[in-house]
Amino acid sequence: MPKTIDDLSTPCLLIEKERLEANCRQMQARARAEGVALRPHTKTHKMLSLAALQKSHGARGITVAKVGEAEVFAAAGFDDICIAYTVVGAEKSARIAALAPGISFCIDSLEGARQASAVFAGLGRTVRVLLEIDAGYGRCGRTWDDPSLVTFARHVADLPGLALGGILTHEGNAYQPHQAATVMAEARDRMLSVAVRLGDAGLATRGRFVISVGSTPSANVFRNAHRDGFSITEIRPGNYVFNDLTQVNLGVCSFKQCALTVLTTVVSQHRGAGGAVRFFLDAGRKVLTSDRAPLSDTYGQLLYHARTMAPHPHARLTNLSEEHGWGAVRGGSTLTVGDRVRIVPNHACVVVNTQDEAYLVDGDEVLNTWRVDARGHVQ
Ligand SMILES: Cc1ncc(COP(=O)(O)O)c(C=O)c1O
């Protein structure tokens, strides 16, 4: 077991325990203040240890994206899992049926609903499904103001083996700069208007019907509201446990709230064309990924030194090749070959998915090794 981060082979992932726990506490407090359950999206970390920590902070159930992820968490004893994804295909429904009864998933097509119905009714079972709603993001889901929405919901509710338990949206359009509060309020109001229409049609029972929204930028500014006896019942942010450069640039958090960093080593340094000193890190696209952060031209924010967690004011990762990060420092670099630097990634969720494990740390000290248990379970 490595004792300090100097004992670790790079590149690797570090999770700052104190920051992680502060992020868990803060989001739990937000959920409590607005009278909603927090059902964190575990696609951000895919770790049983971290999901257990979220649960210990008060999370009510977890969210996953894929049936394969649900299988990993269910096998470890998690029994309240929402697959926030439109499940299509008899094979996937059969796998869900083999899990604990507390699993729900999303429906946005009659084809998907009929396939699931055939499997569950065939087994003499009933599964809870959530109608996915597009409240403005433009990805999956029935459009919130679609005049045929109630008819569609009735078709789903009438299918044997399916129980229409709620509606779900992901307001991913909250990732536009300065838009989170507006997008959140709009998504909330649109979801409540859908719930009222379904309630009036006898398809949603007040107090029992799940109304689920979620993203990290919007959860941070979420304010609940009540409409005809309905209110939002749960939020599903995921990224908030780690945060990343995207969240910093959107003004959602500060660097001090970024719990996940990539520890890398400077493996080369030389003067490039034009005389500027360039340095190269042992983390390239296969670790940092090519995701960009809004309002930024770097592939991650370098911290000044592995031990001092302050952002380096002049360093940028200008390019990535598969195994190398290409760095430049305006005004000259004090980095030398062998130095270790920590990087706040542009997008934490995809970076975690590149690794089998991450190290829980307290500054220099390595406290634990956490497996990325559901990594690769994308089916
Ligand atoms: C369906 C769904 N719910 C919740 C989330 C969590 O959002 P965030 O990554 O902003 O925390 C996502 C993210 O992609 C999502 O797709």
pLDDT, tens digit (0-9, with 9 covering 90-100), for 41-55: 999 999 999 999 999
Which of 122, 47, 133 is closest to 86 using CA atoms? 133
pTM for this predicted structure: 0.97
Give Cα separations from 21 to 44, 246, 257, 258, 338 (angstroms): 15, 20, 10, 11, 31
pLDDT greater than 70 at residue 231: yes
Instruction: Grade residue 304 by pLDDT with cuts at 50, 70 and 90.
Output: confident
Is the beta carbon of 220 within 6 A of some atom in ligand 1? no
Q: Tokens standing for 54?
A: 């979220």
pLDDT, tens digit (0-9, with 9 covering 90-100), for 193-215: 999 999 999 999 999 999 999 99
| Cβ(374)–Cβ(15) below 8 Å | no
Q: 34-241 maps to which CATH number?
A: 3.20.20.10
What is the rounded average pLDDT of the residues 226-242?
Answer: 98
Q: Where in the chain is the domain with CATH 3.20.20.10?
A: 34-241
pLDDT, tens digit (0-9, with 9 covering 90-100), for 342-351: 999 999 999 9
Ligand 1 centroid from CA 286, angstroms = 22
The mean pLDDT value of the chain amounts to 96
Ligand 1 centroid from CA 323, angstroms = 28
pLDDT, tens digit (0-9, with 9 covering 90-100), for 153-175: 999 999 999 999 999 999 999 99
Ligand 1 centroid from CA 181, angstroms = 16
Assigned CATH topology for domain 5-11+246-371: Lyase, Ornithine Decarboxylase; Chain A, domain 1 (2.40.37)
Ligand 1 centroid from CA 122, angstroms = 32
Pocket test for ligand 1, best of 42, 43, 232 (most atoms within 8 A of CB): 43
Nearest-CA residue for ligand 1 atom 8 is: 215
pLDDT greater than 90 at residue 333: no
Ligand 1 centroid from CA 66, angstroms = 13
Is the beta carbon of 41 within 6 A of some atom in ligand 1? yes
Tell me how far apart the alpha carbons of residues 241 and 224 are, in angstroms, rounded to a whole number: 21
What does the pLDDT read at residue 313?
A: 86
What is the rounded average pLDDT of the residues 93-100?
Answer: 96
Q: Where in the chain is the domain with CATH 2.40.37.20?
A: 5-11+246-371
What does the pLDDT read at residue 10?
A: 98
Pocket test for ligand 1, best of 24, 170, 191, 244 (most atoms within 8 A of CB): 170
What does the pLDDT read at residue 276?
A: 73
Tell me how far apart the alpha carbons of residues 378 and 223 are, in angstroms, rounded to a whole number: 33
Ligand 1 centroid from CA 173, angstroms = 11
pLDDT greater than 70 at residue 307: no
What is the rounded average pLDDT of the residues 19-26?
Answer: 98
What does the pLDDT read at residue 88?
A: 97
Residue scoring higher pLDDT (222 or 100): 222
Nearest-CA residue for ligand 1 atom 5 is: 215
**Closest-lying ligand 1 atom to the alpha carbon of residue 169:** 1
